[in-house]
């Protein structure tokens, strides 16, 4: 098990500059990380910066609130793919989920997946805002909508990934989707524990210090 193969090296700060995105990509290439994860406005620059490497490019959609219209999320996803993204990390509509509007939640995820075709779709649940029952439902709806991953957090909510949430998500997707732990993963021991729990990706801005 090589930790670098699990890391989505991430900079989603609103203050991120082009120079910082170029540095993020440079680090990802140096350490051989699985992917970088950036906001939509940086996709073209990141694609150019990753040229010639095996590092994948992930872009966030409906970030960080998830409360945009479905049409806006679909457009954003298509736009990111057109500019070179390999993977899409979308935020679920949390208000719809909490209001038991399951058909709308499922259809939104499915629509984005259809829009990006064979590109990977990771669905961010933002677990810190959800009850256990809501987390379970979110996982089931994501699987029904053909998402490739369920992901714990944006890193911008009131809490990040927890071992308990990952164990619950792993149980609920039952092998039909993969798991990404994100938010607050800052040391090697924590990262390894997540991998032992069955996580296949870790979103972190601390990638270099985790693998050094």
Catalytic residue (one of 29, 122, 135, 180):
180
Distance in angstroms (rounded) separating the CA atoms of residues 24 and 76 = 22
Task: Give one word for 198, left, alpha or beta, with left for phi > 0 and alpha for psi -120 to 50.
Answer: left
Distance in angstroms (rounded) separating the CA atoms of residues 71 and 89 = 16
What digits encode the pLDDT tens for the residues 119-138?
Answer: 999 999 999 999 999 999 99
One digit per residue, the tens of pLDDT, for the chain of length 212 reads 799 999 999 999 999 999 999 999 999 999 999 999 999 999 999 999 999 999 999 999 999 999 999 999 999 999 999 999 999 999 999 999 999 999 999 999 999 999 999 999 999 999 999 999 999 999 999 999 999 999 999 999 999 999 999 999 999 999 999 999 999 999 999 999 999 999 999 999 999 999 98
Q: What CA–CA distances, in Å, run from 30 to 26, 66, 76, 204, 207?
A: 6, 33, 29, 16, 11
- Identify the pLDDT of residue 212: 86
Q: And the tokens for 92? A: 């679920």
| Domains of the chain with CATH codes | 3-211 (3.20.20.70)
Catalytic residue (one of 34, 151, 170, 178):
151
pTM: 0.97
Residues 6+ apart with CB under 8 A from 80: 40, 43, 59, 61, 88
Q: What residues pair up with 57 in beta bridges, in sequence order?
A: 36
Active site residue 180: yes
- Identify the pLDDT of residue 126: 98
Active site residue 98: no
Distance in angstroms (rounded) separating the CA atoms of residues 118 and 16 = 29
Answer yes or no: are the C-beta atoms of 64 and 75 closer than 8 Å.
no
- Identify the pLDDT of residue 101: 98
Residue 91: phi, psi to the nearest 5? Answer: -95, 130
Distance in angstroms (rounded) separating the CA atoms of residues 157 and 65 = 9
Catalytic residue (one of 8, 29, 34, 89):
89
172 membership: H or E segment, kind and range: helix 163-173
């Amino acid at each position: 098990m090589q930790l670098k193969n699990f890391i989505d090296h991430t900079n989603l700060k609103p203050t991120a500059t082009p120079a910082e995105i170029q540095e993020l990509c440079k680090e990802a290439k140096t350490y051989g990380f699985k992917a970088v994860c950036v906001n939509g406005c940086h996709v073209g620059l990141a694609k150019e910066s990753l040229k010639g490497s095996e590092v994948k490019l992930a872009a966030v959609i409906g970030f960080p609130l998830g409360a945009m219209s479905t049409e806006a999320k679909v457009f954003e996803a298509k736009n990111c793919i057109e500019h070179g993204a390999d993977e899409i990390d979308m935020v679920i509509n949390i208000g719809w989920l909490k209001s038991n509007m399951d058909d709308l939640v499922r259809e939104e995820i499915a629509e984005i997946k259809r829009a990006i075709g064979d590109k990977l779709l990771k669905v961010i649940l933002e677990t810190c805002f959800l009850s256990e029952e809501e987390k379970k439902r979110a996982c089931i709806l994501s699987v029904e909508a053909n998402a490739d991953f369920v992901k714990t957090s944006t890193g911008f909510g009131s809490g990040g990934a927890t071992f308990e949430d990952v164990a619950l998500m792993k149980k609920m997707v039952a092998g039909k989707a993969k798991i990404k732990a994100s938010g607050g993963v800052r040391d090697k021991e924590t990262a390894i524990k997540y991998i032992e729990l069955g996580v296949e990706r870790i979103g972190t801005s601390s990638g270099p210090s985790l693998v050094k």
